[in-house]
């Protein structure tokens, strides 16, 4: 079935690293994504990783992919108060359904 699971809340101190975890179910997924949603806004694509990669780094963001366990993580280094938002993990199954499946979102709280 189609399901993306992630924990609902994460609280960190400013300057610490944040790690948001996600599991997905469809092994055919070619692309896996992280989106960020700030209050009153739509979702913003942060980064994505191809299924044939293990890791991708983009400035303060590091994405790790474990295909065997269908586990995806997003690490934010030196977390800032401006990083407080909801982070969504998403997969795009390569089954011709033309839809991206989103997790429920992890609300990140950054304490000053």
Count the site residues for another protein by CB under 8 A: 22
Give the one residue of 20, 24, 33, 110 binding another protein; rule: CB under 8 A. Answer: 33
> In the stretch 52-81, what mask flags binding to another protein with x, by CB under 8 A?
------------------------------
Give the DSSP letter string of 67-104.
TTTTEEEEEESS--GGG-EEEEEEEE-SSS----EE--
Reported for 53-62, long-range contacts at CB under 8 A and 24+ positions apart, including other chains, are: 61/34
Which residues, 78 to 107, sit near another protein by CB under 8 A? 88, 92, 97-105
């Amino acid at each position: 079935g189609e399901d993306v699971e992630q924990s609902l809340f994460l609280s960190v101190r400013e300057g610490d690293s944040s790690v948001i975890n996600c599991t997905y179910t469809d092994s055919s997924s070619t692309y896996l994504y992280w989106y960020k949603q700030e209050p009153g806004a739509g979702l913003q694509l942060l980064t994505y990783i191809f299924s044939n990669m293990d890791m991708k780094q983009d400035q303060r963001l590091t994405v790790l992919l474990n295909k065997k366990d269908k586990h995806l993580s997003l690490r934010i280094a030196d977390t800032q108060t401006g990083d407080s938002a909801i982070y969504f993990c998403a997969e795009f199954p390569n089954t011709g359904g033309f839809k991206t499946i989103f997790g429920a979102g992890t609300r990140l709280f950054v304490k000053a």
